[in-house]
Structure 1
Amino acid sequence: MSFKGNLDEIVALNESGLLGAHTSWARVKLRSVVEIVNGFPFESRYFSAEKGVPLLRIRDVLRGGTETLYSGPIPDGFWVRPGELVVGMDGDFNCARWRGVPALLNQRVCKLVVDDEFVDPRYLHYVLGGYLRAINAHTSSVTVKHLSSRTIGDIPLPLAPLAEQKRIADKLEVLLARVDVCRERLDRVPLILKRFRQSVLAAATSGKLTREWREARGRKGGPEAWTACTLAELCVPSRVITYGVIKLGNDTPNGVPCLRTSNVRWLRIDIDGVKRIAPVLSAEFGRTVLQGGEVLVNVRGTLGGVAVVESTMRGWNVSREVAVVPIDASQVNAHFLAFWIGSDASQQRLAKLEKGVAYTGINIEDLRMLPVSLPPLDEQIELVRRVQELFKLADELEVRRETAASAVGSMVTKILAKAFRGELVPQNSNDGAASELLARVLNKCSAAATDRRKVPNAIRSKPTMSIGIDKDTIRAAISKLEVDSFSFDELWAVVSGDYDSVKDILFELLQEPNPVVCQAFDNSVRAMKLRRVQS
Structure 2
Amino acid sequence: MITDKSSLSWLNLKLGDVIDYGKTFKAEPCDLTDDTWVLELEDIEKDSSKLLQRLTFSERKSKSTKNRFEAGDVLYGKLRPYLNKVVLADSNGVSTTEIVPVKASKNLDNRFLFYWLKHPEFLAYVTEVGYGVNMPRLGTKDGLAAPFILAPLAEQREIADRLDTLLAQVDTLKGRLDALPATLKRFRQSVLAAAVSGKLTEEWRGLAEYSEDGYPSNWEKKGFSDIGELARGKSKHRPRNDPRLFGGDYPFVQTGEIANSNGRISSANKFYSEFGLSQSRLFPAGTLCITIAANIADTSILNIDACFPDSIVGFTPDSEICDAQFIKYLVDTNKENLERFAPATAQKNINLKVLNKLRLPIPLHEEQTEIVRRVEQLFAFANQVEQRVKEAQGRVNNLTQSILAKAFRGKLTAEWREQHPELISGENSASALLARIQAERAAQAPIKRTRKKKASA
When the two structures are superposed, what TM-score results if normalisation uses the length of structure 2?
Answer: 0.80
1:55 aligns with 2:62: no
1:386 aligns with 2:382: no
CA contact (8 A) 1:57 1:66 kept: no
Letter in 2 for 1:143: N
1:134 aligns with 2:142: no
For 1:417 and 1:199, how far apart are their aligned partners in 2?
43
For 1:101 and 1:368, how far apart are their aligned partners in 2?
61
CA contact (8 A) 2:297 2:331 kept: no
Letter in 2 for 1:242: R
Q: What is the aligned partner in structure 1 of residue 76 from structure 2?
A: 87
1:27 aligns with 2:12: yes
For 2:94 and 2:225, how far apart are their aligned partners in 1?
60
Pick from 412, 422, 425 the counterpart of residue 430 of structure 1: 422
Pick from 298, 303, 318 the counterpart of residue 328 of structure 1: 318
Q: Say which SS state the counterpart of residue 195 (structure 2) adopts.
A: helix
For 2:173 and 2:221, how far apart are their aligned partners in 1?
47
Q: Residue 136 and residue 232 in structure 1: after superposition, are their counterparts in 2 closer, same or farther (change >3 A)?
A: farther
For 2:26 and 2:322, how far apart are their aligned partners in 1?
65
For 2:268 and 2:36, how far apart are their aligned partners in 1?
48
Q: Residue 389 and residue 164 in structure 1: after superposition, are their counterparts in 2 closer, same or farther (change >3 A)?
A: same
Q: Residue 116 and residue 367 in structure 1: after superposition, are their counterparts in 2 closer, same or farther (change >3 A)?
A: farther
Q: Residue 453 and residue 253 in structure 1: after superposition, are their counterparts in 2 closer, same or farther (change >3 A)?
A: farther
For 1:219 and 1:398, how far apart are their aligned partners in 2?
33
CA contact (8 A) 1:55 1:70 kept: no
For 1:40 and 1:283, how far apart are their aligned partners in 2?
68
Pairing of 1:70-219 with structure 2 (within 5 A): 70=61, 72=63, 78-81=67-70, 83-91=72-80, 92-97=82-87, 102-117=92-107, 119-129=108-118, 130-138=120-128, 139=130, 142-215=133-206
Pick from 284, 294, 297 the counterpart of residue 291 of structure 1: 284
CA contact (8 A) 1:93 1:132 kept: no
CA contact (8 A) 2:116 2:122 kept: no
Letter in 1 for 2:97: Q
Q: Say which SS state the counterpart of residue 117 (structure 2) adopts.
A: helix
Structure 1 unpaired stretches of 5+: 1-10, 459-535
Q: What is the aligned partner in structure 2 of residue 265 from structure 1?
A: 259
1:447-486 CA-to-partner distances (Å, cap 9, x unmatched) read 55xx43525879xxxxxxxxxxxxxxxxxxxxxxxxxxxx
For 2:250 and 2:71, how far apart are their aligned partners in 1?
57
Pick from 382, 401, 411 the counterpart of residue 413 of structure 1: 401
CA contact (8 A) 1:267 1:339 kept: no
1:58-101 CA-to-partner distances (Å, cap 9, x unmatched) read 322336235562365878xx323455322222223533225687
For 1:436 and 1:40, how far apart are their aligned partners in 2?
30
Deviates more, 1:124-133 or 1:272-281: 272-281
How far apart are residue 107 of structure 1 and its match? Answer: 2.4
1:218-277 CA-to-partner distances (Å, cap 9, x unmatched) read 7976623211012343323xxx33244762578977765433333223882477995414
Q: Residue 52 and residue 262 in structure 1: after superposition, are their counterparts in 2 closer, same or farther (change >3 A)?
A: farther
1:305-353 CA-to-partner distances (Å, cap 9, x unmatched) read 212111xx22x3324433322222222101101111112xx12321221
The two structures, once aligned, show a CA RMSD in angstroms of 3.6
Pick from 414, 421, 436 the counterpart of residue 440 of structure 1: 436
Q: How many residues align?
A: 422
Structure 2 unpaired stretches of 5+: 453-457
For 2:339 and 2:110, how far apart are their aligned partners in 1?
51
For 1:412 and 1:248, how far apart are their aligned partners in 2?
50
Deviates more, 1:81-90 or 1:25-34: 81-90
For 2:138 and 2:162, how far apart are their aligned partners in 1?
30
For 1:356 and 1:172, how far apart are their aligned partners in 2?
52
Percent identity between matched residues is 26
Q: Say which SS state the counterpart of residue 360 (structure 1) adopts.
A: coil
For 1:396 and 1:132, how far apart are their aligned partners in 2?
37
Q: Residue 176 and residue 384 in structure 1: after superposition, are their counterparts in 2 closer, same or farther (change >3 A)?
A: same
1:468-516 CA-to-partner distances (Å, cap 9, x unmatched) read xxxxxxxxxxxxxxxxxxxxxxxxxxxxxxxxxxxxxxxxxxxxxxxxx
